[in-house]
Structure formats: C-alpha cells, structure tokens
Structure 1
Amino acid sequence: MLRAPAETKYADELDYLESIDTGPKPFTWRLSPRMVRIFVLGSERSDGLDREIAQKWFGDRSFVERSIVTLASDRGLLLIGDPGTGKSWLAELLAAAICRNSTLVVQGTAGTTEDHIKYSWNVSMVIAKGQSRQSMIPSPIMTAMEQGMIGRFEELTRSTSDVQDALISILSEKYVSIPELDDDNIVFAQPGFSIIATANSRDRGVNDLSSALKRRFNFVRIPVVTNKKSEAEIVRFRTAELLRRHQIELELPPTLLDILLQSFADLRAASDAAAGDDDRLESALSTAEQIGVLEDAILHSHFFGDRTLRAQTLAGSLVGSLARRSPEDLAILNKYWHGVVEPRGREGGDWGDFLDGGRQAISTLS
C-alpha cells in the first residue's frame, strides 16, 4: 500500500486503547472522547498508560477537543484554514479513532454532483432487473449513514451550491429519500453518523456556504503553525515517515532544519508586509510546503548526490518548489536572497552554502 489509512497504520495503538478504554462512549464510537484525544495528540505521563501513544497531529489541544465534542453531538464538523494546516490529516485521525474507517471520503470539486453524496445506479443491473436496492450504488456519505460512521467531505467550498444544498437535508433530517423505489425507499442515518468537512480559507468566494448549511456545522478554524518549536516537530515527524516510506537512511542536520524554518518565517513576514498579490509568493508557505521542499531535497540527495543532505541542495529545492510564477515569484525570491540570505551567508557555514545554492537555482530558472 503506497499510503495506508490511519486505522491501518496505527492499528496496534487503536487496539490497545480500545482494550483499556473504560470511559463513556457516545453512540457506537469505538473509543471514548478521552481516548480519541490521546490517539490524536499522544499520551502524557498523567494519562497512566502502560505504553506510549505517539503524537500524530500537532496543534492546540482545544481544537481537537472542540472537534471531538462536535462529533459527539448531532452537528457536522467543518475544519477551515489555510492550505497545509493539517485539516485533512486531523479529519482522518478523528474518523479512524471513532469508527476505525477513515476512507468514506467525497472529494469536493467543480465536477462533484449530488450522486457523489447520495447514490447512483448500476446501469447494467437496472437494465437487467430494474431499479432496486441491489442495483443502487451508495455514496460514501450514504454508506456512513447506513453504518453509523463518520463521512468526510474534502474541500466543501469547491463544490457547487446544488451539492452543498443536498447536504442540508442529510445534516438536518438525517435521512436520504430514494424516489425511484416504491419500497424500502428511505435510508436513515444510524447512531454515530456525522460528517467532517474541510474548507480552504483561501477559497473564500469560490462557492460560499449558505447560511442554512453554516448553521448545521460547527466551525473549527485551524491556524497556520507559527511557533518554531511546534513547526519543527511537525516537519521532523512527517519527514521521518517519508524516509521510512522510501526506505532511505539519511540524517537531517539540525542546522539545515533551522535554515528551512527561518527561511519560511522570513518569507511569510515579507508576504504579510507586501502591498499586493504581485509582491507575494503564490505558495501558501505552509508547513506542508516545507515538508515538500525537504522531501524533494532528501530524494535529490539520495538519488543524485552523495546521500548527505547539504545546504546547496536544500536551497535549490526551496527555489524550485516556490518559484511557480515567472517572473513574479523569481523576483521575490531573488530579492529575499540578496536582502536576507546574503548578509547571513557572508559568515560562511551552512548559510553560505545555502546562499550559493539559491543563487544558482534562481539563475538557472531565470
């Protein structure tokens, strides 16, 4: 499996937590809210567990607790924030802990239709035997309703208003009617059913949510991680996973991680101070972008270098990943390299190598 879902990847932890869980569980939840929080945020000494549970999502505890409380009610949960803030990962972890199935997902796009969140038909079976429950193809959301599980809706604001409106009846009435059938024509949601939706705050204005749909969701805003220590933990955690996936043994020098974190912090500050969009990088400069830059540099070092991560390679990866518009992004990066990196690079060391690598990458792309 290229990427195992959370309930498969962390099956041992989930089995252990379920075996010792004595807390009250809402509906048909596999774990109590307290154990769900421990699974997502990791265990602490005060939890009194016999084994350590690794932290999987890095952020404020209050966001996770509010999300869990929402899912224990009859309201949907909407995780909203900038790209790369871990909304989808948090949604997957919550679904895995609550119902041991995080794969009931609908991806919102301009091409998403009502069929994707309700049901469609197996045409060959309809022609052969007519319309029946056997010839119906339930959507992931309908499957979640029937089994009392968590359904996920990614990028809700990218879906059209018709699709969004179809969610209103599901969230409020908790059933789906099938008018094509005479009998057995209503699918009722079972206890434990809920929906976790995600929305990109940068997509505001694409397909705004109606006030009716907003009322049926509890909003949890996930901010961009700006704390350097927390961001370093996230990058190290995700990078270790990527190295295991690629079966690569390569050390991440702490000085290079500091350079990467500092560069993104500098570029974010410059973006916040910019007068217009042309003076901002198109990239969201999120933690996910940092992980992508680092993965690119690690793979380049492994396959085309001496299997040692160096500052020049990291600089080239950063420039190549963030220079999406030409000449706008290249001009912004060139200004940053001359104004910020160059003074640091005069002292030599890794900053000096980072300076040289970035200059070469910018020159090549220009």
Structure 2
Amino acid sequence: MSDLLRAPAEIKYADELAWLESVDTGTKPFTWRLSPKMIRTFVLGSQPGDQLDRKVDQKWFGDAAIVERAIVTLASDRGLLLIGDPGTGKSWLAELLSAAVCRNSTLVVQGTAGTTEDHIKYSWNVSMVIAQGQSRESMIPSPIMTAMEAGAIGRFEELTRATSDVQDALISILSEKYISVPELDENGTVFARPGFSVIATANSRDRGVNDLSSALKRRFNFVRIPVVTNRRSEAEIVRFRTEELLRRHQITLDVPPTLLDVLLQSFADLREASAAAGSDDERLESALSSAEQIGVLEDAILHSNFFGRQTLTADALASSLVGSLARRDEDTPILNKYLHGVVAPRTENAGENSGEWTQFLQGGQAALKALA
C-alpha cells in the first residue's frame, strides 16, 4: 500500500476482507465473496451482538437502511443507482460494496460529455486488427464487459454526465445481460455471468444535464444518499477521514475537539443560511457536504503542518473555509455576511470557546480581504 497514492478498498482492507470471508457462515448469492449480512458489517462496522472475535471499524457513515437496500438491489436483476448531492459518499459506498462483493472496485467508467459507447462496451486494438484481423484477442473490453464476463460489479460514475446515446447503451446490458459483437462471426456475444451488476452514481445537482430516460430508470433501483446533518455522525466522518490523512502524511499534528466543533458549527450555520436564502445568488454554490468539511480541515492541517506553527489554529481553519467555499464572486459577500452577522456576535457569547471564534473571525476576515 505504501507504493500506492490511493489504494482501492479491496487492497486497503484486504486483511479484514479475508478474515471476514473465513468466518462467514451466511448464504452468499451467486459468486459473492461475502454474505449480505457480512457485507453490511464490513461497511457499517461490527456490533457487540455480531459475536465476532475481531472488531470491524465503520467505513461509511449513514443510515443502515440505505446500505441494506443497496445490498439487496445488487442481489436482484436490477442495477443500483446511488443519487445525492456532491460529497455525500456515493462513490465511497459504491467502492466498498464492490470490494466486499467481488474484491474488485476498479471496473469503473467515468461519465463525462466525452464518454462514448466504446467505454461501456468494447473497442479494438488497431495494430492487432491490421495485423491479424478482428478477433477476441484484438478486442479491448470495457470495464463493464469485463465485469460481465467475471460475474463482478461494474461501476458507472456520474451517469447523468454521459450523453443519452451512452445511457441508452446501458439499457440492453441491464435488461438482456449480454453485449453483441457483430464484428465477430464466432463467439460474437458476451454473456454476463451470475453475480454481475452495475452500481451507478448520479449527482442530484446535475438534474437537467442529461436526464435519464424512463426505460433506463426502470432498470435501476434508486437509493438516495442524504447530506449528513447529524452532528455526531458528521464528527465521526470528519474524524475518520482526518485520521487517515494524518497517517498517510505521517503527521502528528493534533486536532483539538473545540476546533472540530467550530468547523461543524460553521457548516451548520451556512446550511441554515442557505436553506433560508431566497435565490441561488444568496446561497453558496457549495453543497456544504461532509466531504467539503473534510477538504477544509485537510487544507488547514496541511497548511499548519508545512507553513504554520505545527498546531492547528482557528484562524487557519477559517482561512481554509473561505478558500474552499468562495468559488464565485457571489460567494464572497455571503461569507462576509456570515462572519459579521453570525460569527462576530458569537465571539462575545460563546463562553469558553469565545477565543476560538475570535481567531476564526480574524482568520476569515483576513482571507476575504486577500480575495478583494
């Protein structure tokens, strides 16, 4: 893992997955490596009632019903579509589920305006075609076709970013479970093996970019991933990701609990202001998700470690928040209004934490001044 910038879940948690498989006595659908109950344990962590000899840490933080519905969908004939705001953990959940089901989360197609049918079906090695003609050896299978042949999970990220032609190509794959290759006389059909399924993700803020057809929608079970607003869950998510960051960079910098509270409260304040805004120009462009909280904290930690006093401070946190959330001209006055209307009064009424809020106000004002 030390040689990988970011190890996929099946490598990162290889030892844990192997152990879970060795003690798993549940029924496993198709060629699944773990039973549905053990997959839930892998994703959500173990509970005392599981009676396992080893603690399994929670990796995705959210409603258990969401994970259970996703697992049930993968065992059915329908694809799984995880939909939600940016930064709600859709891709991370898809990766964890793929790793648990088939030990391969890397069979991924990224949806963009440039994604073509070849990316979800197949293409050709031109040099081999010229030398030997079209054959299975000269064919380059897509990640989805590879998943079909292996009875594994194929992933399609940002489905609504792909054009309607590409989306329509998925319909026959999800319904018929095969891909026809008319260029080949023999073995011209690639059939899906048991266990094959597709996990797609879609950004709810991309609605209207390339809307899904009714036919394609019927091939998916929709599972909505909400923005985490529960303070305890948010704190667990941010703490989990921050500990990973510190280990990866071998940083020993401390994150005081009071500063974590400041970060969580600031995002809660901004979400409340966004909900009360009368127009898009009066709310931040950011989705204010947990992922963006983690990004703000990560930026502040790295800046404090490399250029600061080797300790995380409230002014560094505020500077990172402004730098991360001020993405357009309209965002600057919104943040300025927040600092003066919400943070400034809190510096006098926050009791023991007033010192942190004072530093946070000063750091935010300095960052906004630098943007002016």
TM-score by length of structure 1 reads: 0.99
Q: 1:346 deviation in Å?
A: 3.1
Q: Does 1:315 find its partner at 2:318?
A: yes
| Alignment correspondent of 1:355 | 361
Partner of 2:337: 335
Q: Deviations over 1:239-283 (max 9, x none)?
A: 111111111111110000000000000001101111111101111
The match for 2:16 is: 13
Give SS of 1:63's match: helix
Question: How many residues were matched structurally?
Answer: 365
Distance 1:337 1:132 in 2: 64
State the SS of the aligned residue for 1:162.
helix
Structure 1 residue 180 corresponds to structure 2 residue 183: yes
Q: Secondary structure of the equivalent of 2:113?
A: coil
CA positional deviation for 1:231: 0.5
Cα offset for 1:363? 1.0
Structure 2 match to 1:121? 124
Which residue is 1:211 aligned to?
Answer: 214
Q: Who is 1:346 aligned against? A: 348
Of the three residues 213, 220, 236, the one matched with 2:223 is 220
**2:304 matched to 1:298?**
no
1:261 — aligned with what?
A: 264
1:74 positional shift: 1.0
Q: CA RMSD in A?
A: 0.6
Q: Is the 8 A contact 1:41 1:55 kept in 2?
A: yes
Amino acid at match of 1:195: V
**Structure 1 segment 228-247 matched on structure 2, within 5 A:** 228-247=231-250
Instruction: Provide the rounded CA distance (Å) in 1 between the counterparts of 2:101 and 2:231.
Output: 31
2 CA distance for matches of 1:355 and 1:222?
33
SS in structure 2 at match of 1:346:
helix
Local SS of the residue matching 1:290: helix
Q: Aligned partner of 2:250: which letter?
A: Q
Q: Which residue of 1 aligns with 2:370?
A: 364
**What is the deviation of 1:303?**
0.3
Shift of 1:357: 0.7
**2:361, 2:334 → 1: CA distance?**
15
Superimposed CA distance per residue, residues 133-180 of structure 1 (whole angstroms, 9 cap, x where no aligned partner): 000000000000000000000000000000000000000000000001
1:165 is matched with which residue? 168
For 1:201 and 1:21, the matched residues in 2 are separated by: 36
Aligned structure 1 segments of 4 or more residues deviating by more than 2 angstroms: none
Distance 1:101 1:18 in 2: 15
Contact 1:297 1:317 in 2 (8 A): yes
Please tell me whether the aligned partners of residues 82 and 202 of structure 1 are also in contact (alpha carbons under 8 angstroms).
yes
Q: Hey, what does 1:50 align to over in structure 2?
A: 53
Q: What letter is aligned with 2:331? A: D
How many angstroms apart in 2 are the aligned matches of 1:312 and 1:9? 34
Aligned partner of residue 267 in structure 1, secondary structure: helix
Question: 1:256, 1:225 → 2: CA distance?
Answer: 19
* 1:145 correspondence with 2:151: no
Q: Secondary structure at the match of 1:132?
A: coil
Amino acid at match of 1:49: L
Alignment check: 8 A CA contact 1:238 1:291 kept: yes
TM-score w.r.t. structure 2 length? Answer: 0.97
In 2, Cα distance between the equivalents of 1:243 and 1:200? 29
Counterpart-to-counterpart distance in 2, 1:253 and 1:207:
44
**Local SS of the residue matching 2:241:** helix
Query: Helix, strand or coil: the match of 2:184?
Result: coil
Offset at residue 284 of structure 1 (A): 1.0
Contact residue 25 and residue 33 of structure 1 kept, 8 A: yes
Distance 1:354 1:346 in 2: 13
Match of 2:205 in 1: 202
Letter aligned with residue 8 of structure 1: I
Q: Partner amino acid for 1:340?
A: V
1: CA distance, partners of 2:295 / 2:64: 25
Task: State the match for 1:287 in structure 2.
Answer: 290
Check the 8 A contact 1:283/1:322 in 2, yes or no. yes
SS of the residue 1:137 aligns to: strand
Q: Residue by residue, what CA displacement relative to the aligned partner does 1:281-329 show, whole Å, maximum 9, x if unpaired?
A: 1111111000000000000000001110000100101011111112x11
Any stretches of 5+ residues in structure 2 without a counterpart?
none
Q: Is the 8 A contact 1:345 1:354 kept in 2?
A: no
Question: Displacement of 1:344 after TM fit?
Answer: 1.0
